Structure 1
Amino acid sequence: MDLEISGRSASEIADSLRSLIERGMLRPGDPLPSVRALADELGINRNTAVAAYRQLTQAGVVVTRGRGGTHVADHAVVAQEGFAADSVLRDVGTGNPDPDRIPRLEKALARAAGRPVLYGEPVIDPDLEVWAQQWMTEGLTAAASARLTITSGAADAVERLLAQALTRDDAVALEDPCFLASIHTVRLGGYRPVPVPVDGEGMTVDGLRRALEDGVRAVVCTPRAQNPTGASLSARRAADLRALLRDHPYVLVIEDDHFSMLSRRPYHSLIGPEHRRWALVRSVSKFLGPDMCLAVTASDPETADRLAMRLTPGTTWVSHLLQRLVHAQVTDAATVAAIEDAGEHYAVRNAAFAERLTAHGIPAEAGDGLNLWVSLPTPARSVSEQLMRRGWLARTGDEFVLAVGTPSRQLRLTVHDLEDDDAEQLAADLAAAVRAARGRPVLAEVG
């Protein structure tokens, strides 16, 4: 062993390793000695070596990978939603709503004005609470016990929900492919992501069964408009998942229904009426705009109490001005009609582009949501590189995949704001890019 690791107790060994990392003698991603090798080198009990690694794992300094060993934690930047910075290419991978479909605020701002809110007052605006109670509990089988909490967006809610229930290195079941914010939250929290495959009906039963057998303590699921695939839980799939979870009532189930008011699909929940730890999260960012950082969480009473406790050291409450603004918009008939029109717009534009791709020899089908998930006959990265030569910046599925080892053959495209001519050009360029990536002639598409 070349490393100068020292110590007799778990704390001394952990401090020694932390010092090596801080001095740069161990770098992110570097492997650490096995428990057996460390114990033999230092002449200590193996349980002491295990305890030292556990301390470092809980502090986020190292990560354990089962048979892959223990490694220095690598806090690599995780891809985020939004426009790519400093690119001259036409960006069709943003994941953004259409800014022209986001309701204007002028009328609602006048209604949102009100008296100042002081410390110690209720953290939820009373009018918003009355409206949200119906919005959050309709179709929810566990509605009878639901309590509401307001957070600064869905990602904030999911992060705090996991933090109030888990400790570092706990296992969390995530859809695979997965929403970028969920990947980011789990990795930064020091939890262990367990991938659950997604098909056309959502999270698979066999995948969740394996995750539960692996000891996951939380499940994060998107009931409709799953990002990036666009899949939504069918009634049958939701019932099968509820039946599976019936034997695991204390596993925290988080549903992130991010597309809610824009969705063209019915809401089917995997939260059963007897489940003990659960939360349904709905953000307003997709239909009122990403800058409207507000989400409503309905959860069981104990989870609601613990979530509220997680809020007290930080933001304490979400601005009542923002809460009133949201209430003014979602109770305005014209705004609600505009949201409905936007949902129809996204569905129609995505379906039209899927038809264009199919006509160009790339079979595609639109799901629900802002994006289109396109399967390719060749690795997506090579197709993406070919698209860049034609002026387009697309997002490959590699960024969304939890399971590593096989290059993705999918692109996630945001095309709902393209005019017909641009959409046709992108479809043609994508077909040409696929042919070029497979080494076939593309002269017919040039000029």
Structure 2
Amino acid sequence: MTATDLRHAIRGTTAAEIARSIRSSIEEGILSPGQSLPPVRDLAAALGVNRNTVVAAYRQLGQAALVVSRGRGGTRVADRAPVAQEGFAPDTVLRDVGTGNPDPALIPDLAPALGRIASRPVLYGEPVVDAELAAWAGAWFAPDVLADEMRITVTNGAVDALERLLAQALTRDDAVALEDPCFLSALHTVRVGGYRPIPVPVDDEGMTVAGLSVALHAGARAVVCTPRAQNPTGAGMTAERAEALRSVLAQHPYVLVVEDDHYSLLSRRPYLSLIPAGHRRWALVRSVSKFLGPDMCLALAATDPDTAERLATRLSPGTTWVSHLLQRLALAQLTEPGARATIDKAAEHYAARNARVAAFLRDAGLDATARDGLNLWVDTGASSRAVSEQLMRRGWLARTGDEFSLRTDAPSTHLRLTVHDLDDADAQALARDLSAAAHAAALTEG
């Protein structure tokens, strides 16, 4: 179909009608993945509508992941390829260094606790949060919360917490400030929810002050930030950066601020908050998946009382509450000395191995620094996709920086590597192969 035919095939005078017309064309196969949509100006003229109407239609389609905007490259029908997810790559024969997984050997054994937690059944109408877990969590959060009041809510993991927090505060098309590069699940949650992500650049100290200011002035109604062990970069806020971010947010007391402290007990850095004292809408979320295992789908959220009340309406007993068996099991692990010793051992292991592998990478001429978290964020100096392809030829599978980026106009040069399970020999082999892959990719680009 030519551009002229396409303009004539699209119908409607409102944004919703235009979006439905284009969506039907995609579903019927008239428009194929990668095909360009008419420029906004041309389609507005053909339909006799305001340009903003077409912009709104394209935005609706983008929120539904049906089209992607390429800036000056125009708007194209989205590829139906599956979106990137954390975890092992299925059916690969390559050595996978992109999983983002903890070491299963360093996850506490559940067996000793299982027999102690099933004391009695829990019935409809009972509190959705286990009282003992709530008390323990309150003591854990208290030193890190600047607010006079807080409430504890339990959710099915950090992603569930984020989805519920955004849903109770926002409506479709509301803007959310996200770190760029961004944690995959946070990015997907925002897009699937129909919200508009606004990228805030991340440097060695985390979310930048200038970037947050721009996002707030652009109308962001929520901010999602990782104060330490930022995924994928490993960045952590300094006291100076945290204070500067609080100063910016103090001017916007009703913007929802969500801190994802996913690495908490494993982090080697102090917790520093960007939530100002007296802020009206906030949440500090700590999941247990990194140290108790991904299958322990539980997160604790400390929030202001109003946000807690809103969350409670979405966690009614018998439908969306978190199993008390799971809550008791998590509490048993979090308070059992042997389990806590295993968690401390895991923290030391991840930090030590990342530092060791980063040194091998630097010796091979690569820009690698072990910050905080499970992964390394490595600047290859060339297109991450090209480097990844070259690395696959040498037997390795890595995560490209493009998967974590909110931008489409500037290809990433970074790879995210999960390397804590590599011994020295394998780590040195990876360093040699990655250096060769980066060199080959640079020559190809040149």
Per the normalisation by structure 2, the TM-score is: 0.89
1:254 lines up with 2:258 in the alignment: yes
Given that residues 58 and 167 in structure 1 are in contact (C-alpha distance below 8 angstroms), is that contact kept between their aligned partners in structure 2?
A: no
Given that residues 11 and 21 in structure 2 are in contact (C-alpha distance below 8 angstroms), is that contact kept between their aligned partners in structure 1?
A: yes
- Please state whether the residue corresponding to 1:364 is helix, strand or coil: strand
1:84 lines up with 2:81 in the alignment: no
Counterpart selection for 2:304 from 300, 304, 313: 300
Aligned to 1:105: 110
Aligned to 1:177: 181
- Distance in structure 1 (CA, Å) of the matches to 2:55 and 2:389: 47
Counterpart selection for 2:47 from 28, 33, 41: 41
Q: Deviation string for 1:87-116 (max 9, x for gaps)?
A: 111111110000100011110111211211
Aligned to 1:382: 386
Given that residues 34 and 70 in structure 1 are in contact (C-alpha distance below 8 angstroms), is that contact kept between their aligned partners in structure 2?
A: no
Counterpart selection for 2:333 from 325, 329, 332: 329
- Please state whether the residue corresponding to 2:247 is helix, strand or coil: helix
Given that residues 70 and 76 in structure 2 are in contact (C-alpha distance below 8 angstroms), is that contact kept between their aligned partners in structure 1?
A: no
Instruction: Give the total of aligned pairs.
Output: 436
| Structural mapping, 1:12-91, within 5 Å | 19-26=24-31, 31=37, 34=40, 37-38=43-44, 41=47, 46=50, 49=53, 53=57, 60=64, 77-91=82-96
Deviates more, 1:25-34 or 1:183-192: 25-34
Identity %: 62
Deviates more, 1:193-202 or 1:389-398: 389-398
1:411 lines up with 2:411 in the alignment: no
Deviates more, 1:66-75 or 1:183-192: 66-75
- Distance in structure 1 (CA, Å) of the matches to 2:167 and 2:26: 26
| Structural mapping, 1:13-412, within 5 Å | 19-26=24-31, 31=37, 34=40, 37-38=43-44, 41=47, 46=50, 49=53, 53=57, 60=64, 77-142=82-147, 144-312=148-316, 315-412=319-416
- Please state whether the residue corresponding to 1:334 is helix, strand or coil: helix
1:218/1:17 CA distance change after superposition, 3 Å: same
- Please state whether the residue corresponding to 1:312 is helix, strand or coil: coil
Given that residues 36 and 46 in structure 1 are in contact (C-alpha distance below 8 angstroms), is that contact kept between their aligned partners in structure 2?
A: no
How much does 1:320 deviate?
0.5
1:334/1:25 CA distance change after superposition, 3 Å: same
Q: Deviation string for 1:58-88 (max 9, x for gaps)?
A: 9948779698788777776320111111111
Amino acid corresponding to residue 399 of structure 1 in structure 2: E
Q: Deviation string for 1:269-322 (max 9, x for gaps)?
A: 001112111111110000000000000111111111112222339843100000
- Distance in structure 2 (CA, Å) of the matches to 1:300 and 1:398: 35
- Please state whether the residue corresponding to 1:217 is helix, strand or coil: strand
Aligned to 1:444: none
- Distance in structure 2 (CA, Å) of the matches to 1:395 and 1:66: 22
Q: Deviation string for 1:22-79 (max 9, x for gaps)?
A: 544455675367489558736xx75995798499569948779698788777776320
Q: Deviation string for 1:111-150 (max 9, x for gaps)?
A: 21121111100000111111111112322212x2111111
- Please state whether the residue corresponding to 2:329 is helix, strand or coil: helix
How much does 1:380 deviate?
2.2
Given that residues 32 and 71 in structure 1 are in contact (C-alpha distance below 8 angstroms), is that contact kept between their aligned partners in structure 2?
A: no
Aligned to 1:2: 8
- Distance in structure 2 (CA, Å) of the matches to 1:152 and 1:366: 30
1:283/1:25 CA distance change after superposition, 3 Å: same
Deviates more, 1:313-322 or 1:235-244: 313-322
Amino acid corresponding to residue 384 of structure 2 in structure 1: A
Given that residues 280 and 298 in structure 1 are in contact (C-alpha distance below 8 angstroms), is that contact kept between their aligned partners in structure 2?
A: yes
Given that residues 39 and 49 in structure 1 are in contact (C-alpha distance below 8 angstroms), is that contact kept between their aligned partners in structure 2?
A: no
Aligned to 1:443: none
Could you list the runs of 5+ residues in structure 2 that have no partner in the other structure?
1-6
Given that residues 394 and 412 in structure 1 are in contact (C-alpha distance below 8 angstroms), is that contact kept between their aligned partners in structure 2?
A: yes
How much does 1:436 deviate?
2.9
1:238/1:124 CA distance change after superposition, 3 Å: same
How much does 1:181 deviate?
0.5
- Distance in structure 1 (CA, Å) of the matches to 2:388 and 2:237: 30
Aligned to 2:3: none
1:376/1:58 CA distance change after superposition, 3 Å: closer
Given that residues 124 and 320 in structure 1 are in contact (C-alpha distance below 8 angstroms), is that contact kept between their aligned partners in structure 2?
A: yes
Given that residues 249 and 277 in structure 1 are in contact (C-alpha distance below 8 angstroms), is that contact kept between their aligned partners in structure 2?
A: yes
Q: Deviation string for 1:167-187 (max 9, x for gaps)?
A: 122111111111010111111
How much does 1:235 deviate?
0.8
1:267/1:2 CA distance change after superposition, 3 Å: same
Given that residues 152 and 301 in structure 2 are in contact (C-alpha distance below 8 angstroms), is that contact kept between their aligned partners in structure 1?
A: yes
1:208/1:51 CA distance change after superposition, 3 Å: closer
How much does 1:20 deviate?
4.6
- Distance in structure 1 (CA, Å) of the matches to 2:390 and 2:139: 49
Amino acid corresponding to residue 139 of structure 1 in structure 2: D
- Distance in structure 1 (CA, Å) of the matches to 2:230 and 2:408: 20
Amino acid corresponding to residue 77 of structure 1 in structure 2: P
Given that residues 13 and 52 in structure 1 are in contact (C-alpha distance below 8 angstroms), is that contact kept between their aligned partners in structure 2?
A: no
Q: Deviation string for 1:391-411 (max 9, x for gaps)?
A: 111111111111122221111
Given that residues 360 and 431 in structure 1 are in contact (C-alpha distance below 8 angstroms), is that contact kept between their aligned partners in structure 2?
A: yes
Given that residues 230 and 367 in structure 1 are in contact (C-alpha distance below 8 angstroms), is that contact kept between their aligned partners in structure 2?
A: yes
How much does 1:418 deviate?
0.9
